[in-house]
Amino acid sequence: MYTLTDLSAGYTDHQVLKGVSLTVHDNSLFSLIGSNGSGKTTLLRVLAGLLSYTGSAALSSSELRSIPRRVFSRTVAFCMSARSFHPASAFTVREIISMSRLPYMGMFSRLSSRDNDIISRSAEILGISHLLSRSILTLSDGQRQLVLIASALAQDTRTILLDEPTSSLDPDKSAQVWALLRKLADEGRCIIAAVHDINASMPYSHGYFALKDGVLISHGSRLSGQVLRDLYGAEFAEYHSTEGNDELWRALPK
């Protein structure tokens, strides 16, 4: 469970997050929404222990900055967007996923049979077993994204943070990933995903957090046209899925 209180963060020449306070419980999947530059990735980087902050950011009552890195790496997995992933070497897919097991290994130890089982199972769940021997440099953005999600899964943490996890995926793969994330949340994980496609994520999410100019302007279990209007400066039309139980939104031209 994350508890943020009056949290601010940013970079040398620019403060991005301003006084954010929120609580995210286990057994939940939340969509982090907002326009480009609103602070979504910055917030994920704070939660992933990659960016300093002022105020308070606690994970299960422990301030993030006080948690030893090895312990933190066994607790929180961060899955970046494929568009931000630029591997310098031609690692194979298996090697990329294997790196997620490092927090559980000694300095000179090898992958155990359990490690290898977890790696293979994670690849199988994401449908990329046939890519395990391929160089990561030969894959499409969508395939790389599935590899990154498989790596987060193989890290076997209670908390998973994802930055645009389905932006490079075809609709069927996107739905598969969101269904998987919801299943993991229902099994006890705490999952937060920064998204642009609210219609893809919200039917599977327990709720949302909305950022605008680094400020948390709204949160809840259901979106509204007013929230979307405030976020994006456009009118939205509401409609429903053919099953009638999912609220979907379409932006109207300005």
The secondary structure of 61-124 as a DSSP string is: TEEGGGS-HHHHHTTEEEE--GGG---SS--BHHHHHHGGGGGGS-TTPPPPHHHHHHHHHHHH
What integer is the mean pLDDT of 122-143? 97
What's the pLDDT at 220?
96
Contact 236, 33 (CB under 8 A): no
What's the pLDDT at 239?
87
Q: Strand pairing of 14-24 and 2-11?
A: antiparallel
pLDDT tens by residue, 20-33? 999 999 999 999 99
* CA 217 – CA 220 distance, rounded (Å): 11
What's the pLDDT at 245?
67
What's the pLDDT at 126?
97
What's the pLDDT at 86?
86
Domains and CATH numbers, the chain: 1-75+188-254 (3.40.50.300)
Residue 244 has pLDDT above 90, yes or no: no
What's the pLDDT at 153?
98
Residue 176 has pLDDT above 90, yes or no: yes
pLDDT tens by residue, 62-89? 999 999 999 999 999 999 999 889 888 8
Give the global pTM: 0.95
pLDDT grade, residue 13 (50/70/90)?
confident
Three-state SS annotation for 192-234: EEECCCHHHHHHHCCEEEEEECCEEEEEECCCCHHHHHHHHCC
What's the pLDDT at 88?
82
pLDDT tens by residue, 36-61? 999 999 999 999 999 999 999 999 99
What integer is the mean pLDDT of 139-164? 97
* Cα dihedral across residues 60, 62, 63, 67: positive or negative: negative
What's the pLDDT at 208?
98
What's the pLDDT at 247?
81
What integer is the mean pLDDT of 192-199? 96
Name the token pair of 173.
């793969």
What's the pLDDT at 106?
78
What's the pLDDT at 20?
98
Q: What is the mean pLDDT of the chain?
A: 95
Residue 123 has pLDDT above 70, yes or no: yes
What's the pLDDT at 202?
95
What integer is the mean pLDDT of 136-141? 95
Contact 181, 152 (CB under 8 A): no
Residue 131 has pLDDT above 70, yes or no: yes
